Amino acid sequence: MTPNLSRALGRRSRAQIVALLKVQAKLSLREPYALGVGVGLPTVLLVVFGFISKAVPGNVGSTGLNVIDLYIPVIMVISFIGIAISLPSTLVRDREIGWLRRVSTTPVHPAQLLGAQLVINLVFAAVAIVVAMVGGSVIFGAPLSVDIPFFILSVVLAIAEIFSLGLVVVALVRTQSAAGVVGGVLFFGLLFLSGLWVQPDQVTGPLQYILLYSPSGSAVRALLYSVFGEAPPVTILVAVIGYTLVFAFVAVRYFRWE
């Protein structure tokens, strides 16, 4: 391959990537499920728990933490859940209506379409992280002391785990209506397990164990330790990594483009 040709091909694939990102960004703004549940909902929750924290300051379940301190990681994980649950609603539809098949007749593989959508969703997740961290500490006074390496690791693992779970739904569910039902049930299940309604420190026994080591609960724990300057326990990290591997395997194994 001559240098000129490979440069031309490089330009072409860059042009493809830019065009895909542009279209996926526009569609994500016109069908704002991911934006609404992934950024809007966490923002509302931040305000709600921020004011609760100011009204009822002090120790939750003798953890030494305020309400807002405990809920910053929960809010971040809820953003990831919201975005992951929005993946099936668009991807299952795009497959059902034959859009992914249509794209597969062009030089672009539908995987690139999915990739572009994931990039846009990562941007939404990043916005939600900034809202939760900056809003939580600056506006509502959470005394964060972020352990940067563990924080980055926890964020990457949490997003990988929860997004993979969304892709499992895309892989296993055939129709848009089924995706709505499965996504809805999963959404509230994961919200509960993340500790939105009950924190693991407020309960004992098996429920506490479930809340700590569930897919969304373990992601919350990993983030909680790392935003308060501590290394997450190995058991928590192993749980998150284990879930990620299982979900990713199932998603890849059963994924269909048409």
Partner 1 sequence: MPDPAGDPRGDQPAITITNLVKRYGSLLAVDDVSFSIQEGEIFGIIGPNGAGKTTTVECISGLRTPESGSISVYGLSPQHDRDKIRAFVGVQLQESSLPPRLRVGEALELFASFYPTPLDPQEVLESLGIKRIERVAFKNLSGGQKQRLSIALALVGNPRIAILDELTTGLDPEARRDTWALIERMRERGVTVILVTHFMDEAETLCDRVALINRGALAVLDTPEAIAAQAGVNRVRFTPSQPVDDETLNAVPGVQVIERKGRYVTVMGTGDLAASLLNALSEKGVHVAELEARSGNLDDAFIKLTKDATPRVSEEVHA
One-letter-per-residue 3-state SS of 13-62: HHHHHHHHHHHHHHHHHHCCHHHHHHHHHHHHHHHHHHHHHHHCCCCCCC
Among 12, 61, 152, 249, binds partner 1 (CB under 8 A): 12
Among 7, 18, 47, 64, binds partner 1 (CB under 8 A): 18
**End-to-end CA separation in angstroms for the chain:** 34
- Of the candidate spans 26-34, 36-44, 163-171, 212-220, the one that interacts with partner 1 by CB under 8 A turns out to be 26-34
Among 25, 27, 52, 153, binds partner 1 (CB under 8 A): 27
- Of the candidate spans 9-17, 48-56, 61-69, 135-143, the one that interacts with partner 1 by CB under 8 A turns out to be 9-17
Does 99 sit near partner 1 (CB under 8 A)? yes
Among 41, 70, 79, 94, binds partner 1 (CB under 8 A): 94
Residue 38 Cβ vs partner 1, minimum distance, rounded to whole Å: 18
Buried b (16+ CB within 10 A) or exposed e, 174-198: eebeebbebbeebbeebbbbbbbee
Tally of CB atoms within 10 A around 105: 7
- Which residue lies nearer to partner 1 by CB, 16 or 208? 16
Among 36, 61, 64, 98, binds partner 1 (CB under 8 A): 98
Tokens of 81: 């859940």
**CA distances for 121 relative to 60, 63, 130, angstroms:** 33, 33, 14
Count CA within 13 A, CB hemisphere, residue 179: 25
- Of the candidate spans 19-27, 152-160, 219-227, 229-237, the one that interacts with partner 1 by CB under 8 A turns out to be 19-27
Residues in contact with partner 1, counted by CB under 8 A, come to a total of 24
Residue 89 Cβ vs partner 1, minimum distance, rounded to whole Å: 12
Does 121 sit near partner 1 (CB under 8 A)? no
The rounded distance, in Å, linking the Cα atoms of 175 and 34 is: 19
- Which residue lies nearer to partner 1 by CB, 35 or 68? 35
Does 256 sit near partner 1 (CB under 8 A)? no
Q: Label residue 40 exposed, middle or buried (CB < 10 Å: 0-12, 13-18, 19+).
A: middle
Give residues in contact with partner 1 (CB under 8 A): 12, 15-16, 18-20, 23, 26-27, 30-31, 90, 93-94, 97-99, 101-102, 104-108
